Chain A
Amino acid sequence: MIMIAYYVITAVLLVLAAWNFIREKDNRQDLILYLLVIVPLILRLLRWK
């Protein structure tokens, strides 16, 4: 149950970070930060080891 909740939280955070990456227009530093945040979330969601 906890594991499912964590995966749901991961997916929500991934969508939020990806959405912000798409919407960001000017600040390149934020773009890089969004990408950095997205990487572990994708790896965890895909369970890529």
Chain B
Amino acid sequence: MNKDIVPKALLASVLLGLVLWGGLPLRRHRHFDVPIIKGPGVTEVRRLSEFSPGLAGTAGDTNVYVLQGREPGGKALLMGNTHSNEPEGMLTALIVIERGVVEKGTLFVIPFFNNSGSRNTRPGDGYPLYFDVATDWGARRFRYGNRDASPLDQWPDPDVYIHYPDRQLLSYIDVRNTNRTWPGRAAGPLMERVTFGAMELMRREKIDLAVDIHGAETMFPVTNCIVAPESSVKIATLASLTVKAMEGFESHVEPSPSGFRGLSHREIGDHGPSLPFLLEAPIPFLDQPTGPKTVQFLLDGKDPFLLSLAKKKKLFVPYDESGWPLEKRVGQNLSVTLELFRQFSKKTADRAIAVRGVPRYADVVKNGVGHFLADPSKAPAGAVVMN
């Protein structure tokens, strides 16, 4: 018997143990489903693969919640978790699904737009796998994902991502970034099939407004803003001025650059009927020079290093000891979204969109995000949809 076999087998066993120790939590995270309760306004739950058949049976497929109003009107699409490490978008969408009632028009809401990304993580950055939002009845647990889709679902990456259809050269990683793969194509890489599905939804349903909800670093200049192309800029400006005057928070307007391709705020308007808006709320957790990436930091946005940088005027948003908590981020997303609907409805009365039951900035800051989340254990039978 070869004398090497025993130590080599031992070594391989130790490594296998380490792989299981590290890998099983990641596997559990990947297969952890989040319950969403169909609120009083939800009339239908569809799948994105209805619009992009190439998504069927893949991790790119995701739920589309439809809230059809009693009266006809305009139509809007809300997307959260385009980047799954920016959870304020997903929570904004969730509150609309669980609380919103549409009086006029129709809402289409996709809370986990990049479903694969929400089942991915960034272990090198020490990301937590989950975060809990405190509610009036306990805590509600969510997956904390990554910016990009999982390489388990879309692989291999190219050396350079050649954007379709403009052929602009983008970073290789952007082939898994659903805010670089717009407008997508039916038989492209998985994330192009995701954005193609959303484009088809907008084209077939004649969506008027498309709101893509994100979070951005405090050290990144495009933060705390509404990004809008030429076609959307008037409505965005009116919404920005109104929330500043009426609700007391800043969300300025940034123009969508026409030379930078693949982004929702550019391609949606160029390839479909909808007016695109991309909302950015500041999320200190994403900044690089911070302390540990803990769940508490994700929720309250408080960090001593960012505070020090703020005193040196290195941040693009006001920042003090109160941090930038989840309540502010979700609250301003909700208020800006509702204000975009209102301004659009004022301009286009025959395509009005009226929603009630959705809290605004002051309500969310005062009561917390969890106050507006439903309890899955008390939901009626058939009302809970796993995501």
Are A39 and B15 in touch, CB under 8 angstroms? Answer: yes
- Once the chains are docked, how many angstroms separate the CA of A6 from the CA of B4? 32
Are B8 and A31 in touch, CB under 8 angstroms? Answer: yes
Q: Distance (Å) between the CB of B134 and the closest chain A CB?
A: 32
B15 interface neighbour in A3, A28, A35, Cβ under 8 Å: A35
- Once the chains are docked, how many angstroms separate the CA of A35 from the CA of B9? 11
Q: Distance (Å) between the CB of B9 and the closest chain A CB?
A: 11
Are B156 and A6 in touch, CB under 8 angstroms? Answer: yes
Is B11 part of the binding interface, using a Cβ–Cβ cutoff of 8 Å? yes
Are A25 and B19 in touch, CB under 8 angstroms? Answer: no
How many A-B contacts if CB must be within 8 Å?
Answer: 24
Question: Which residue of A is nearest B59, CB measured?
Answer: A49
Q: Given A3-B156, A49-B152, does the pair A21, B8 have CB atoms closer than 8 Å?
A: yes
Question: Which residue of A is nearest B11, CB measured?
Answer: A31
Which residues of A from 4 to 32 have beta carbons under 8 Å from B? 6, 21-22, 25, 28, 31-32
Q: Given A21-B8, A31-B8, A31-B11, does the pair A39, B156 have CB atoms closer than 8 Å?
A: no
B residues in contact with A35, CB < 8 Å: 11-12, 15
Contact with A along B25-55 (1 / 0, CB 8 A): 0010010000000000000000000000000
> Chain A: interface secondary structure?
helix
Q: Count of chain A residues with Cβ under 8 Å from any Cβ of B?
A: 14
Q: Number of contact residues on B: which range applies?
A: 10 to 19
- Once the chains are docked, how many angstroms separate the CA of A45 from the CA of B153? 14
- Once the chains are docked, how many angstroms separate the CA of A17 from the CA of B15? 15
A25 interface neighbour in B4, B152, B153, Cβ under 8 Å: B4
- Once the chains are docked, how many angstroms separate the CA of A6 from the CA of B154? 13
Contact with A along B151-191 (1 / 0, CB 8 A): 01101100000000000000000000000000000000000
Q: Distance (Å) between the CB of B270 and the closest chain A CB?
A: 28
Q: Given A3-B156, A32-B11, does the pair A39, B30 have CB atoms closer than 8 Å?
A: no
B residues in contact with A31, CB < 8 Å: 8, 11
Q: Given A25-B4, A31-B8, does the pair A2, B156 have CB atoms closer than 8 Å?
A: yes
Are A39 and B152 in touch, CB under 8 angstroms? Answer: no
B residues in contact with A25, CB < 8 Å: 4
Q: Distance (Å) between the CB of B148 and the closest chain A CB?
A: 16
Are B15 and A36 in touch, CB under 8 angstroms? Answer: yes
B19 interface neighbour in A2, A21, A39, A44, Cβ under 8 Å: A39
- Once the chains are docked, how many angstroms separate the CA of A28 from the CA of B10? 12
A residues in contact with B11, CB < 8 Å: 28, 31-32, 35
B residues in contact with A36, CB < 8 Å: 15
- Once the chains are docked, how many angstroms separate the CA of A49 from the CA of B149? 13
- Once the chains are docked, how many angstroms separate the CA of A25 from the CA of B30? 39
- Once the chains are docked, how many angstroms separate the CA of A5 from the CA of B12? 28
B residues in contact with A6, CB < 8 Å: 155-156
Are A49 and B156 in touch, CB under 8 angstroms? Answer: no
Q: Distance (Å) between the CB of A16 and the closest chain B CB?
A: 17
Q: Distance (Å) between the CB of A17 and the closest chain B CB?
A: 12
Which residues of B from 93 to 142 have beta carbons under 8 Å from A? none
Question: Which residue of B is nearest A9, CB measured?
Answer: B156
Are B15 and A49 in touch, CB under 8 angstroms? Answer: no
Q: Distance (Å) between the CB of A5 and the closest chain B CB?
A: 9
- Once the chains are docked, how many angstroms separate the CA of A49 from the CA of B30? 8
- A-B contacts, 24 listed (Cβ < 8 Å): A2-B156, A3-B155, A3-B156, A6-B155, A6-B156, A21-B8, A22-B8, A25-B4, A28-B11, A31-B8, A31-B11, A32-B11, A32-B15, A35-B11, A35-B12, A35-B15, A36-B15, A39-B15, A39-B19, A44-B155, A49-B27, A49-B30, A49-B152, A49-B153
Q: A3-B156, A49-B30 are in contact. List 14 more A-B contacts (CB 8 A).
A: A3-B155, A6-B155, A6-B156, A22-B8, A25-B4, A31-B8, A31-B11, A35-B11, A35-B12, A35-B15, A36-B15, A39-B19, A49-B27, A49-B152
